[in-house]
C-alpha cells in the first residue's frame, strides 16, 4: 500500500482517507506504519547487530515487550527517555497492540466500532517518534547502516 519513497505525511494522508471508508484497514496500515517507524528508529540507534535486533523485534507482541526492548537497546546506550515518555498517547499504543492481537487471532473484538478513533492516535505516535529522530539528526527514510558481529564465530 505504501511506496518506498513515501514520507510520513504521504502515508498519513492515505491512512486518514482510508479511515473514512474502512476503519479496520486504516487501523492495520496505521499500526504497520507505527511498527515500521519504531523498529527503524531502534535499528538506527541500537548498537546490537542488526540481524539479532530484527529477530527480537519480530517477537514483539505487546507494548510492554516493545518498551523493554527500547530500554535495553536504546535507553542504555543513548540515555534516551523511555518510550512511553516520547509517545504522548502511550495508552492508545497499548490498546493498539491488544486490538492487533485480537485481530490476528480472529477473537471477538467488542470495540471495533470505535477503532476509527484510535487510528489518528497511532499516527500521532509515529509523528512523535519521527520528531525524536529529527532531534537526534536521524533520517528514518534513508538507508540504515547494517551492524555486524564484531568477531566471527569459529566452527
Q: What is the pLDDT of residues 12-38, one digit of tens each?
A: 899 999 988 988 889 999 999 999 999
Query: Does residue 60 lie in a domain region?
Result: yes
**Cα(95)–Cα(93) distance, integer angstroms:** 5
**Cell numbers found for residue 138:** 536521524
Residue 30 burial (CB count, 10 A): 29
In whole angstroms, give the CA distance from residue 113 to residue 110. 8
**In this structure, is residue 44 part of a structural domain?**
yes
CB 103 within 8 A of CB 26: no
Residue numbers in the chain where pLDDT is lower than 50? none
pLDDT at 34: 94
Assess contact for 41 and 129: CB atoms under 8 A. yes
In a domain, 40, yes or no: yes
Domain count, the chain: 1
Residue 141 domain-assigned? no
For the whole model, what pTM was predicted? 0.85
Q: Quote the pLDDT of residue 64.
A: 93
Residue 1 is assigned to a structural domain of this protein: no
Q: What is the pLDDT of residue 67?
A: 92
**Residue 150 counted as domain residue:** no
Q: What is the DSSP string of 63-105?
A: HHHHHHHHIIIIIHHH-PPPHHHHSTTHHHHHHHHHHHHHHHT
Secondary structure letter of residue 113 according to DSSP: G
Q: Cα separation of 127 and 92, whole Å? A: 14
For residue 56, what are the domain limits? 8-135
Residue 131 lies in a domain: yes
Amino acid at each position: 500500500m505504501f511506496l518506498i519513497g513515501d514520507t510520513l505525511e504521504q502515508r498519513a494522508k492515505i491512512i486518514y482517507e482510508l479511515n473514512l471508508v474502512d476503519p479496520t484497514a486504516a487501523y492495520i496500515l496505521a499500526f504497520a506504519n507505527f511498527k515500521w517507524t519504531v523498529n527503524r528508529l531502534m535499528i538506527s540507534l541500537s548498537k546490537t547487530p542488526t540481524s539479532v535486533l530484527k529477530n527480537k523485534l519480530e517477537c514483539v507482541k505487546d507494548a510492554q515487550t516493545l518498551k523493554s526492548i527500547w530500554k535495553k537497546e536504546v535507553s542504555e546506550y543513548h540515555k534516551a527517555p523511555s518510550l512511553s515518555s516520547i509517545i504522548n498517547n502511550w495508552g492508545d499504543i497499548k490498546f493498539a497492540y491488544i486490538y492487533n492481537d485480537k485481530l490476528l487471532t480472529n477473537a471477538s473484538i467488542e470495540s471495533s466500532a470505535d477503532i476509527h478513533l484510535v487510528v489518528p492516535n497511532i499516527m500521532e505516535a509515529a509523528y512523535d517518534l519521527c520528531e525524536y529522530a529529527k532531534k537526534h539528526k536521524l533520517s528514518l527514510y534513508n538507508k540504515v547502516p547494517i551492524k555486524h558481529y564484531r568477531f566471527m564465530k569459529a566452527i
